[in-house]
Amino acid sequence: MKLSDYIEHVTGHARSIPEANVEEVVDALLNVYESGKTVFVIGNGGSAANASHFAQDLAKGTLRDPAQVRRLRALSLTDNSSFMTALANDEGYEHIFVQQLKTFARPGDLLIAISGSGNSANVLRAVEWARTNDLLTVAFTGFDGGRLHSLADINVHTELPDMCATEAIHSILFHFVAEEVKRRMAERDGKR
């Protein structure tokens, strides 16, 4: 396969994602911002890297002047290696995200779950807990969406049986969403 073929493969699948689903994610993030709540992002492997990058883009990317303007609070639960490894060792890997949510999350917060397969036990357990504890849940999935596809309140699904391409599409989506949230926050604050 040539690079141009791969790029067309990825962008072709990215174009098939309903824009309304992505718009729902942007709206959910803006609602979290307006209500002063927190965004938590989770995933495994490449999705963990995407979770970390997306949370950073949301938190750092929305910094604006003046300093007193409220910021969007976004944290990746994949980044605290001490907490994660203690939980994995003592409770089991399937508990690494749900136990962190039990510590940090509050009703009205937002959980963004990233899973190419949609079947990661630790991600599913966290989303189940979040739904029963009044957090809004968003899923970014690939392949057939797995169980996560129907479990989350909002789902952005890439019907693509290729993990690397799915993760690339997710990264594109995360960059778009972060930029759109930043743009709309600036509009709401009367700045361009």
Crossing angle for the helix pair 46-60 and 163-188, to the nearest 10 degrees:
10
Give the number of residues written for the chain.
192
Give every CB contact of residue 92 below 8 A, 6+ residues apart in sequence.
Answer: none
**What local confidence, expressed as pLDDT, does residue 65 receive?**
63
106's tokens: 């509050």
Beta pairing class for 154-157 and 110-115:
unpaired
Let me know if 45 is exposed, middle or buried by CB neighbors in 10 A (0-12, 13-18, 19+).
middle
* pLDDT tens per residue across span 149-159: 999 999 999 99
pLDDT-above-70 percentage for the chain: 95
Does the pLDDT value for residue 192 go beyond 60? Answer: no
Say if residue 191's pLDDT is above 60. no
DSSP 76-109: ETTS-HHHHHHHHHHT-GGGTTHHHHHHH--TT-
Q: How far is CA 165 from the centre of its chain?
A: 17
The DSSP call for residue 17 is S
Position 146 confidence tier, pLDDT thresholds 50, 70, 90: very high
Average pLDDT, the chain: 94
Single-letter amino acid, residue 29: L
Domain ranges for the chain: 3-188
Q: 184 φ, ψ to 5°?
A: -70, -35
**Right CATH number for 3-188 from 3.40.50.10490, 3.20.20.220, 3.40.50.150, 3.40.50.2000?**
3.40.50.10490
Quick one: angle between helices 163-188 and 19-35, nearest 10? 50
What CA dihedral angle connects 143, 148, 154 and 158, to 10 degrees? -10
